[in-house]
Chain A
Amino acid sequence: MLQKEGVIRIPSGCAIAGIINRKKKTFSGDSIITSISLMHDRSNGLGGGFAAYGIYPGQKELYAIHIFFDSHEARMSTEKYLGRYFDIESGEMMPTRKSAVIKQAPLIWRYFAGPKEAALEAEEFSFEDEDNFKSIPDADAEGAREKEFVVRRVMHINSSLPGAFVASCGKNMGAFKAVGYPEDVGEFYMLDKYRGYLWTAHGRFPTNTPGWWGGAHPFTLLDMSVVHNGEISSYDANRRYLEMFGYKCTLQTDTEAITYILDLITRKHGLPLSTAMAAMAAPFWDEISRMPDEMRDSARKIRIIYGSALVNGPFSIILGCEKGMFALNDRIKLRSLIAAEKGDYVYAASEESAIRAVCNTPERVWSPRGGELLSAGYEEADHDTENETVNVSRYIENGLVNINAGIQDRGVDMHIETNADYAGRSNNFLKYNRNSKRVMAGTNAGLKRESERDTEVRAV
């Protein structure tokens, strides 16, 4: 008998895509379906899914919990469990279309709920005195408590309540996934009827499984959703590291491990997303040795401390979260990932054609380098939310146009800038060219006149 995912580990290849409107203007799920369906050949019908943000504006203060149930009994017991911890505002069967190709659907329900105050009060959080949580500023403690509370409940349902699987549990977002081709999955969930400002999608090519709905992507935790293409070779090192921090990698998928690494570093350790990304696709020691002092120290420290969080082997991921859309390749770019932008829209996908299918005339199309973080935050994002302490990224020296990888103090919003802009804010900037292995440092002085910008930068 073929074993269900989670009992065994199943490698798979994939297609991924993501679209964001950085001004939070909503658009229907049609675009993302069109985009991902163009890469039909990259999946094999054994898993497809979407994450959508901004789709539940009316209930945006509540956790939107999407759950798969194998049976009514599983639903009853799960609801009983949920009821003990949450005030459930509403619960309904997920609206779906009948489909000839999407078969063996579980019972799919969604609930809008907030933690019961008494339950939250009664919950014991040891983290105030643990290293892991020490760093979270007091002001944030309430939010941190509540998030941890929700995570614990979700982990419990997924690992201990048989026949129930939480597909997503964030606010104003949801995951929609199934066994099938992504376009059929989108049709099934009627995503054309939803409007969101950030969509990600995934088509899966697992190698040896009948496919299981829970195993489809995106994998989510709170507001974070990850779609991923690749098969990482560091899996067991990552898994065993994560388990030390109480994560249970029940699905045994790379995506799950990647999501937990992001959660560990950003939520539990209270560090910026760019740090998590710098740990997952760490610069090479050789590159680190050529960084300017302060940056080198941070990069070195991140690598030493988060060595087990390094994700090795081929991957490209698109992360959706409350801060925006982010994409990352492994550090030697063993998987394809293309990005484009037009106006307030930023696109990412495994193939350029998938972007062109929905955006014919992008202003810019580029292929982020290995380990280079593509960061597309919301424009009105609160810049103070990320108290940036680390300055690590090979990515800031990336030529004349630079996607801000959350490097400066302004958080993680996307910012297109020239080197002159950057140099204007920092006395010293560094441009190093990976290929020529040279380090070039320059100062404001060389960048005074706008017209000379480009040539001067090159000349330093």
Chain B
Amino acid sequence: MSLNMLTPEFIIDRDRDRCIDCKVCVSQCANLAHIFDEEEQRVVSDNSKCVACHRCVSMCPAGALSIRKFPLDFKANANWSADAIREIYRQAETGGVLLAAMGTGKAYPVYWDHMLLNASQVTNPSIDPLREPMELKTFLGRKPDSLRGELGPQLELEIPVMLSAMSFGSISLNACKSLAMAASGAGTMCNTGEGGLHTELAGYGANTIVQVASGRFGVDAAYLRAGAAIEIKIGQGAKPGIGGHLPGEKVGEEVSATRMIPLGTDAISPAPHHDIYSIEDLRQLIYSLKEATEYSKPVSVKIAAVHNVAAICSGIARAGADIIAIDGFRGGTGAAPLRIRDNVGIPVELALAAVDTRLREEGIRNSVSLVCGGSIRNSADIIKAVALGADAVYIATSALIAMGCHMCQKCYTGKCNWGIATQDPNLTKRLNPDIASARILNLLRAWTHEMKEMLGGMGINAIESLRGNRLMLRGIGLNDSELRTLGIKAAGE
């Protein structure tokens, strides 16, 4: 037996006074951290298998369980953190690329938390959303400069929030269904990701953005026509420049049919689109998709926020995109190489501000709508994004958390105990789309109230008057170049 140098990350605390050995935890943990010891006739646990998803804690009828961080300390060293050491153990053992899921957990600055909102006092009145209409309706798509120009197809959203791309395959059909139901309930959009459109979801087309990614999975004429808009996925914030890989084990019958690939084969999305090696190629794809849908749907292009994002977006706008989705480097993922996730890309706040400024300088901001995503955690983040210049935001992780995700960040194992990031029928049945969609809708409703409250406080009663209204923001704890990029003043100025 080879020596495993990895110590457990968590401790499963079982209160023996409370535990009734009912074995619920045994059946709930797909990681097999709970085992029933036949000899001893009692439940025991294996700390090393626990990923802290809290499923067993939530389900234990006796309230006997708790999960703690394993307290084992390495000798303190600011440079060699426990993570840095553990990652080396893992790679020394396997020789493989480290995988990670969800957004980076590194302590990079979160600029949302360094921006403060304004409110009216005396010189103009705040507006009470309980008494006065407060409008969040948002239209995404190309707008002409003048009323005499032609107004292209628009996506009409009741709130400036859309549910971001998550493919069937990376998440369960029940999870996809929950998202689609929530999108249609809230009058907004969900996004198929690169997983194709399952037949059971076809009915939600009016609230669906169908994605065309480098693997072209599930893309045919009917698919393009099925959605309200089409999104070309160039990149994703969690893994810019990297393709995707859905292992063959996850490509069961349903996934295989929806993605239009043989059963059990790996679904590999190449890093680039092999028909897009430059901006003019992108233009051709944009117009092919428009042709295929008779110019009736807006075409979005999603990119990861990278260093040169402003110039890239200017090119995308000029290539004919109607919407640009910018995904920040803190954005989530079902699986990404850890080093990529933690080190590549830039924060979406800076990217968004730079893009909005650039498009305005070039006088082409109206020709394209901006959507930003990548760790929007609450309604204040949305308001700040709109004030920086976004037309709308994409949320994904927040929606999953609303559905029950506990952020164990092990989505790539396929053993999601909450029935979300898994295809195992024993696990997926744990997620009830009626309940999960109601929870997402609750979240969106709560955020809607909060957004209206914040808008009213600023004396604004329509979201378009906040868009790009950077005077409503002040920076706190930011240096000059950050303030300059964000285009905001410091608090107190």
Q: Chain A residues in contact with chain B, CB under 8 A?
A: 9, 11-13, 131-132, 134-135, 207, 230-237, 240-241, 243-245, 265, 268-271, 275, 282, 284-286, 301-308, 310-314, 331-332, 334, 389-390
Distance of A307 Cα from B154 Cα, bound (Å): 14
With A308-B467, A312-B462, A312-B465 as given contacts, are A269 and B148 in contact (CB-CB < 8 Å)?
yes
Max count, chain B CB within 10 A of own CB: residue among A235, A237, A244, A310: A237
- Write out, one digit per residue, whether chain B residues 92-129 have a CB within 8 A of any chain A CB (1) or not (0): 00000000000000000000000000001001110100
Distance of A389 Cα from B133 Cα, bound (Å): 28
**Is B425 interfacial (CB-CB < 8 Å)?**
no
Which of A13, A240, A285, A334 has a CB less than 8 Å from the CB of B468?
A: A240
- Write out, one digit per residue, whether chain B residues 458-480 have a CB within 8 A of any chain A CB (1) or not (0): 11111011111111100000000
| Stretch in B28-36, B257-265, B337-345, B359-367 with 4+ CB within 8 Å of A | B359-367
Chain B residue at smallest Cβ distance from A12:
B123
Chain A residue at smallest Cβ distance from B359:
A244
**Is B149 interfacial (CB-CB < 8 Å)?**
yes
Q: A12-B123, A207-B123, A235-B469 are in contact. List 6 more A-B contacts (CB 8 A).
A: A236-B468, A285-B137, A305-B145, A307-B462, A313-B124, A334-B125
Contact B468 A233 (CB under 8 A): no
Report A-chain residues with C-beta under 8 Å of the C-beta of B465.
233-234, 237, 310-313
Contact A275 B147 (CB under 8 A): yes
Which of A269, A308, A332 has a CB less than 8 Å from the CB of B461?
A: A332
Please report whether the interface of chain B is mostly helix, strand, loop or mixed according to DSSP. loop
Chain B residue at smallest Cβ distance from A304:
B139
- Write out, one digit per residue, whether chain B residues 318-358 have a CB within 8 A of any chain A CB (1) or not (0): 00000000000000000000000000000000000000000
With A11-B123, A244-B363, A313-B459 as given contacts, are A135 and B471 in contact (CB-CB < 8 Å)?
no
Distance of A135 Cα from B154 Cα, bound (Å): 23
Report B-chain residues with C-beta under 8 Å of the C-beta of A12.
123
Which of B127, B147, B459 has a CB less than 8 Å from the CB of A305?
A: B147
Name the distance in Å between B424's Cβ and chain A's nearest Cβ: 45
Chain B residue at smallest Cβ distance from A237:
B469
Contact A241 B363 (CB under 8 A): no
Contact B460 A234 (CB under 8 A): yes
**Is B297 interfacial (CB-CB < 8 Å)?**
no
**Is B290 interfacial (CB-CB < 8 Å)?**
no
Report B-chain residues with C-beta under 8 Å of the C-beta of A301.
147, 151
Report A-chain residues with C-beta under 8 Å of the C-beta of B145.
131-132, 245, 269, 305
Report A-chain residues with C-beta under 8 Å of the C-beta of B471.
9, 235-236
Contact A244 B366 (CB under 8 A): yes
Contact A233 B147 (CB under 8 A): no
Contact B146 A131 (CB under 8 A): yes
Name the distance in Å between A203's Cβ and chain B's nearest Cβ: 16
Report B-chain residues with C-beta under 8 Å of the C-beta of A240.
360, 468-470
B interface residue count range (under 10 / 10 to 19 / 20 to 34 / 35 or more):
35 or more
Contact B132 A304 (CB under 8 A): no
Contact A310 B464 (CB under 8 A): yes
Chain B residue at smallest Cβ distance from A243:
B360
Report B-chain residues with C-beta under 8 Å of the C-beta of A234.
460, 465-466, 469
**Is B143 interfacial (CB-CB < 8 Å)?**
yes
Name the distance in Å between B12's Cβ and chain A's nearest Cβ: 53
Name the distance in Å between A148's Cβ and chain B's nearest Cβ: 15
Residues of B55-108 contacting chain A, CB below 8 A: none
Q: Which 10 A-B pairs have the closest CB atoms?
A: A307-B464, A234-B465, A312-B465, A233-B459, A236-B471, A237-B469, A269-B146, A135-B148, A231-B124, A236-B469
Which of B124, B133, B365 has a CB less than 8 Å from the CB of A334?
A: B124
Contact B148 A312 (CB under 8 A): no
Name the distance in Å between B143's Cβ and chain A's nearest Cβ: 5
**Is B135 interfacial (CB-CB < 8 Å)?**
yes
Contact A269 B123 (CB under 8 A): no
Report B-chain residues with C-beta under 8 Å of the C-beta of A308.
366, 464, 467-468
Distance of A53 Cα from B466 Cα, bound (Å): 36
Name the distance in Å between A309's Cβ and chain B's nearest Cβ: 9
Which of A232, A306, A334 has a CB less than 8 Å from the CB of B147?
A: A306
Distance of A141 Cα from B360 Cα, bound (Å): 27
**Is B203 interfacial (CB-CB < 8 Å)?**
no
Report B-chain residues with C-beta under 8 Å of the C-beta of A284.
133, 135
Name the distance in Å between A407's Cβ and chain B's nearest Cβ: 16
Chain B residue at smallest Cβ distance from A315:
B124
Distance of A434 Cα from B363 Cα, bound (Å): 38
Report A-chain residues with C-beta under 8 Å of the C-beta of B248.
none
